[in-house]
């Protein structure tokens, strides 16, 4: 029993060394695909970089046109982690570290443009839908398609972010679209300028069921400012759910730091989100990192209070990897006592076949020489059983077998005495 337990311990240790020994010390850098400089994603990437810097992790922020380009950077291996807008397909070989925030689709229009609130009625408009490779562009195209707006019915202006806001304010666009957090810097001047207005679209509930990975949220009145109140009334908005997505091979210690940073950055309350709503695993339809899932659901390990984060991450990683092995070994472990008992009994019971054969032959033969030979064989069996080194709990098997040997030996002795008489 002790030998078996020791063997299992050695095997587990070897597995641990093989799984963890190659990359025990974590990397100290990663690349983060963000978005356009000055945009909401870029501001969030800077916050992630500041938090990870506390542990000496250097974050290289990669500028991009938005979520579509972020996904391409992940696919090319140029980015380790990225923010992806809801509805943007993540590339193969990546895993979500959680959904992290709502991204409302803000539709601003020029006050003098008289644009219908029903998107299905939009015709002959100049729409700033976001730059090439941006998530906003993909979302707007989905919205127009869901609204039944024919291709070519409007002029699509490829400007987004701060450039899209400028296009609207300068009159180069009748309406501009922004999928962004409320804190995006380029939204502030749009809320403040009386020449543009935040549109309240009709039939959003219906549209949310047609646009993938979207839901309806409500922006309260005066969410942006109280004096003057902006917006001046509650405004329903279509919203996407952004995800933090990483290479599936990202080191577990970096996953740990990213998820803990996400908890710090996104768990608060804002104008459209209740406290502790994010990060979350709800609604994530792509593969989800197992370690990130556990961190989101249960929080940091108790070990983190006295062990370095990278060591805790490796311990938890090993526990997660070991769990399937334990489930496989559990039936075996439960059967070990039975197997041990069978082994102890087998050392005795395998003699019973010969004892039974001797008893049967002794009943049928009248040859005194043969009876004496059978009796000598019983003496040998008795001696063999007597020399077995059985644990105390199993010695009764040997005593019982020797009693049976004595019984057959006595029966043969009686037959020999009758023959001699």
* DSSP assignments along 24-72, one per residue: -SPPSEEEEE--STTSHHHHHHHHHHHHHHTTT-EEEEEP-SSHHHHHH
Predicted pLDDT at 48: 97
* DSSP state for residue 117 in the 8-state scheme: S
Domain extents for the chain? Answer: 2-325, 350-420
Predicted pLDDT at 24: 62
**Rounded-to-integer distance, Cα 157 and Cα 63, Å:** 21
C-alpha closest to that of 297 among 305, 288, 306, 309: 288
Tokens of 310: 């990278």
Predicted pLDDT at 175: 97
Tokens of 227: 């004096």
Tokens of 14: 């070897």
Strands 94-110 and 196-198 come out as: antiparallel
C-alpha closest to that of 15 among 257, 329, 301: 329
**Rounded-to-integer distance, Cα 237 and Cα 104, Å:** 6
Residues 68, 134: contact at Cβ < 8 Å? yes
Tokens of 407: 């019984």
**Rounded-to-integer distance, Cα 272 and Cα 278, Å:** 12
**Rounded-to-integer distance, Cα 191 and Cα 310, Å:** 44
**Rounded-to-integer distance, Cα 395 and Cα 397, Å:** 5
Strands 235-247 and 214-219 come out as: antiparallel
pLDDT below 50 — which residues of the chain? 1-6, 10, 13, 17, 22
Name residue 372's beta-bridge partners: none
pLDDT tens digit string along 227-261?
899 999 999 999 988 999 999 999 888 998 899 99
Predicted pLDDT at 308: 57
Number of neighbours of residue 297 by Cβ within 10 angstroms: 10
Predicted pLDDT at 5: 46
**Rounded-to-integer distance, Cα 11 and Cα 339, Å:** 20
| pTM score, whole prediction | 0.64
Name residue 196's beta-bridge partners: 110
**Rounded-to-integer distance, Cα 398 and Cα 388, Å:** 8
Whether the bond between 362 and the residue before it is cis, its omega within 30 degrees of 0, is no
Q: Does domain 2-325 have CATH number 3.30.470.10?
A: no
Predicted pLDDT at 284: 87
**Rounded-to-integer distance, Cα 17 and Cα 13, Å:** 6
Going from the C-alpha of 50 to that of each of 55, 220, 247, 280, the distances in angstroms are 10, 31, 21, 22
Whether the bond between 15 and the residue before it is cis, its omega within 30 degrees of 0, is no
**Rounded-to-integer distance, Cα 18 and Cα 20, Å:** 6
Predicted pLDDT at 3: 47
Element (H, E) at 401: helix 395-420
Residues 207-213: contacts with CB under 8 Å, at least 24 apart: 207/119, 207/143, 207/146, 207/147, 207/238, 208/238, 210/146, 211/87, 211/139, 211/142, 211/143, 211/146, 211/238, 212/86, 212/87, 212/142, 213/86, 213/87, 213/240, 213/241, 213/283, 213/285
């Amino acid at each position: 029993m002790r030998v078996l337990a020791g063997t299992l311990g050695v095997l587990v240790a070897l597995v641990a060394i093989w799984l963890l020994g190659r990359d025990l010390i974590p990397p100290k850098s990663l690349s983060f695909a963000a978005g356009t400089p000055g945009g909401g994603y870029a501001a969030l990437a800077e916050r992630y970089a500041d938090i990870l810097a506390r542990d000496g992790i250097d974050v290289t922020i990669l500028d991009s046109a938005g979520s579509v380009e972020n996904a391409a950077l992940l696919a090319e291996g140029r980015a380790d982690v990225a923010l992806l807008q809801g509805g943007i397909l993540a590339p193969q070989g990546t895993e979500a570290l959680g959904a992290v925030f709502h991204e409302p689709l803000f539709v601003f229009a020029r006050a003098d443009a008289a644009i219908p609130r029903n998107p299905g009625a939009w015709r002959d408009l100049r729409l700033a839908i976001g730059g090439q490779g941006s998530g906003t562009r993909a979302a707007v195209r989905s919205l127009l398609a869901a609204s039944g707006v024919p291709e070519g019915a409007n002029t699509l202006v490829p400007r987004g972010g701060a450039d899209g806001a400028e296009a609207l304010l300068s009159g180069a666009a009748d309406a501009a679209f922004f999928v962004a957090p409320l804190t995006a810097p380029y939204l502030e001047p749009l809320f403040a300028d009386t020449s543009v207005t935040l549109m309240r679209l009709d039939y959003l509930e219906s549209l949310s069921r047609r646009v993938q990975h979207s839901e309806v949220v409500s922006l309260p009145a005066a969410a942006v400012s109280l004096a003057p109140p902006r917006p001046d009334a509650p405004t329903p908005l279509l919203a996407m759910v952004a995800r933090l997505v990483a290479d599936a091979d990202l080191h577990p210690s970096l996953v740990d730091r990213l998820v803990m940073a996400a908890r710090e950055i996104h768990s608060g309350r804002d104008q459209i989100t209740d406290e502790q709503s994010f990060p979350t695993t709800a609604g994530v339809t792509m593969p989800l990192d197992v370690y990130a899932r556990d961190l989101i659901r249960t929080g940091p390990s108790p070990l983190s209070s006295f062990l370095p984060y990278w060591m805790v991450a490796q311990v938890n990683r090993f526990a997660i990897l070991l769990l399937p092995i334990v489930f496989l070994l559990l039936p075996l472990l439960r059967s070990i006592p039975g197997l041990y008992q069978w082994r102890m009994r087998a050392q005795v019971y395998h003699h019973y076949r010969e004892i039974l054969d001797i008893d049967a032959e002794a009943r049928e033969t009248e040859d005194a020489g043969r009876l004496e030979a059978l009796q000598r064989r019983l003496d040998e069996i008795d001696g063999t059983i007597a020399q077995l080194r059985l644990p105390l709990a199993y010695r009764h098997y040997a005593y019982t077998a020797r009693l049976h040997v004595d019984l057959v030996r006595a029966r043969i002795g009686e037959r020999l005495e009758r023959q001699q008489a």
